[in-house]
Structure 1
Amino acid sequence: MNVTPTPPELAPYLDEPAQLRSGGFGKNALLRLRFERRGGRSILAFMERRAPLLVQKALYCDEGMPDLPVVFIISNAGGILQGDRYTMDFAVGPGACGHVTTQAATKIHEMDANHALQTQELTLDEGSYLEYIPEAAIPFAHSRFLTRTKVRIAPSATLLYAETLMGGRKYYRDGERYRFDLFSSTVAAERPTGESLFVEKFRVEPARSPVFRPGVMDDFDVFGNVLLLTPPAIADAVAARAVSAWNKAEGWAAGVGRLPNGAGLVYKVVGKETSLVRARIREFWSIVRPEVAGRPVPPEFAWR
């Protein structure tokens, strides 16, 4: 039996909570989804869930792509707590598509013991297309959170994966800008044959390594990380149109680069406010979808 080693950054945070044990009942959330192509459109063909994670039925609410099933991930826990262990597994069958997002921002609550861990596995078959664009993560003071994502993607498939990290509750009391203990995110991608494409990891420990310095976050508060895994022709077309710029007046900067092994593109955004980063990610998304699916991204819902 293969046992995944504990990442070194979690070593200080392995003590058990005095309340419910880590990964115990109510703290071992599970969500499995599979999209398949049926009768001219894609559907959510399979769903398995365990509280506090849940989804309702897929919605066809995207005016730009009416045959796209849209799934909102919901948590009935009010956020991620110490000792939580989340497992999510999303699969997209041949020629199918899907859009997965969250109902609201993910709040990572303050912790005085242990940590929270999220494991994700994304599998995309030939000719499939998945947009995985959750709302921002908000780590509260003294929270410890680690997320590991494994992607297995066919050469003709496309994955648009985005994560947004806020520096904390910026306007809470006297502010909680980067007062969390740990935020660690790793994405590893491979082909169905097992051929490794890349591994990307960023680890933020503000107490050990200050973030408000040039080359890290400088004076920005929000970080957006977008990965586009796609065939080379699509990557070339998107790269030619994607914006790499620093807009000092508005308070954001963005840049696009190449992933190794012809895997696609990486797009990084920093901003003073979440709305600025969201807008840049939506702008990038609006370039990607027409190139992949020949469909536009619809206007943003007012309530989003």
Structure 2
Amino acid sequence: MIPAPELAPYLDEPAQLPSGGFGKNAKLLLRFERRGERSILAAMERRAPLLVQKALYCDEGMPSLPVVFIISNAGGILQGDRYAMDFSAGPGSCGHITTQAGTKIHEMDANHASQTQEITLDENAYLEYIPEPTIPFARSRFLTRTRVRIAPTATLLYAETLLGGRKHYRDGELFRFDLFSSTVAAERPDGSSLFVEKFIIDPARSPVARPGVMQGFDVFGNVLLLTPPAIADVVANQAAFGWNETEGWAAGVGRLPNDAGLVYKVVGRDSAIVRTKIRHFWSIVRPAVNGHVVPPEFAWR
């Protein structure tokens, strides 16, 4: 991967294992396909520290939906790690991808960590990619690049949740990481571009906890819904938006270019309220796409 300009200060090699070396070049490939009345996880390749067990049919609202949990045996992302993930859904198939827990990006004294994600959806496919939050520790540097190729009749619900850091660790680590960079680029199967969204958080150069950015909020949720215009209209009319100072959240929904779908952004004082708002948005999307509901959260969440 060609280094992004914002990574220029963080290209030195760690004193331990070299960047991208053995044990630091994780790979995961998942493909969903339709088989009769349900979808299956038809293909899976994995290289540690990224692991996946078998797909589960544990969603009571959509019993035909295979649910896959991404597992890491590394305890988090370390300096020099290079992750590559490839998710695809065949014609008429569906799938749900999440993670076993929040992704911890550990403190770094050299180099950086990065991940690339390739997501491909064929005609009438439906994929939910809703991982647990990302938690950047102090002095961590992380870059993620996602490329989506999606057919006009397919739907992708893509969510990323970023915590400001370990809020209650010692004296607090809110926005003490060095760099967080995220890019999502979407296109049609013929290569025509739909949109590119990129945000860079560099607290040392541009303070985050200031008015108009994250003042008063510690958690950021970014949700992209790539879907046909008719479905986008239904979801946009029902999505929760506004600023509730008492409950500690603010949210808004907007249109993506080229009739690609919607973008939903929410900030909150804690992860629970952001999680609730994203789940509410998700609970609107699924019925609009296929008539199924999102079941209540498990009691222990």
Instruction: Return the alpha-carbon distance in structure 1 between the equivalents of residues 137 and 299 of structure 2.
Output: 27
Instruction: Return the alpha-carbon distance in structure 2 between the equivalents of residues 208 and 136 of structure 1.
Output: 24
Partner AA of 2:6 in structure 1? E
Instruction: Return the alpha-carbon distance in structure 2 between the equivalents of residues 19 and 91 of structure 1.
Output: 35
Residue 287 (1) aligns with residue 245 (2):
no
Superposed CA offset, 1:142-173 (max 9, x none): 00000000000000000000000000000001
Residue 77 (1) aligns with residue 74 (2):
yes
Which residue of the partner structure matches residue 14 of structure 1?
11
Which residue of the partner structure matches residue 180 of structure 2?
183
Residue 238 (1) aligns with residue 244 (2):
no
Partner AA of 1:9 in structure 2? E
Instruction: Return the alpha-carbon distance in structure 1 between the equivalents of residues 300 and 260 of structure 2.
Output: 34
Residue 38 (1) aligns with residue 41 (2):
no
- RMSD (CA atoms): 0.6
Q: Select which of 101, 115, 118 maps to 2:115.
A: 118
Instruction: Return the alpha-carbon distance in structure 1 between the equivalents of residues 18 and 86 of structure 2.
Output: 24
Name the SS for the 2:83 alignment partner. Answer: strand
Identity of aligned residues (%): 81
Superposed CA offset, 1:189-231 (max 9, x none): 0000000000000100001100111221111000000000000
Superposed CA offset, 1:46-101 (max 9, x none): 00000000000000000000000000000000000000000000000000000000
Alignment length (residue pairs) = 301
Name the SS for the 2:117 alignment partner. Answer: strand
Measure how far apart 1:6 and its partner are. Answer: 1.6
Residue 298 (1) aligns with residue 257 (2):
no
Partner AA of 1:226 in structure 2? V
Which residue of the partner structure matches residue 247 of structure 1?
244
Q: Select which of 198, 206, 211 maps to 1:209.
A: 206
Name the SS for the 1:45 alignment partner. Answer: strand
Residue 193 (1) aligns with residue 190 (2):
yes
Q: Where does the alignment leave 5 or more consecutive residues of structure 2 unmatched?
A: none
Superposed CA offset, 1:232-260 (max 9, x none): 00000100111111110010011000000
Name the SS for the 2:208 alignment partner. Answer: coil
Name the SS for the 1:269 alignment partner. Answer: strand
Superposed CA offset, 1:95-147 (max 9, x none): 00000000000000000000000000000000000000000000000000000
Measure how far apart 1:302 and its partner are. Answer: 2.5
Instruction: Return the alpha-carbon distance in structure 2 between the equivalents of residues 181 and 8 of structure 1.
Output: 14
Measure how far apart 1:5 and its partner are. Answer: 3.0
Name the SS for the 2:297 alignment partner. Answer: coil
Instruction: Return the alpha-carbon distance in structure 2 between the equivalents of residues 123 and 303 of structure 1.
Output: 33
Residue 104 (1) aligns with residue 131 (2):
no
Partner AA of 2:51 in structure 1? L
After the TM superposition, which parts of structure 1 deviate over 4 Å for at least 4 consecutive aligned residues?
none
Instruction: Return the alpha-carbon distance in structure 1 between the equivalents of residues 254 and 81 of structure 2.
Output: 34
Measure how far apart 1:303 and its partner are. Answer: 3.2
Instruction: Return the alpha-carbon distance in structure 2 between the equivalents of residues 248 and 18 of structure 1.
Output: 46
Partner AA of 2:295 in structure 1? P
Name the SS for the 2:127 alignment partner. Answer: strand
Instruction: Return the alpha-carbon distance in structure 2 between the equivalents of residues 301 and 9 of structure 1.
Output: 40
Which residue of the partner structure matches residue 28 of structure 1?
25
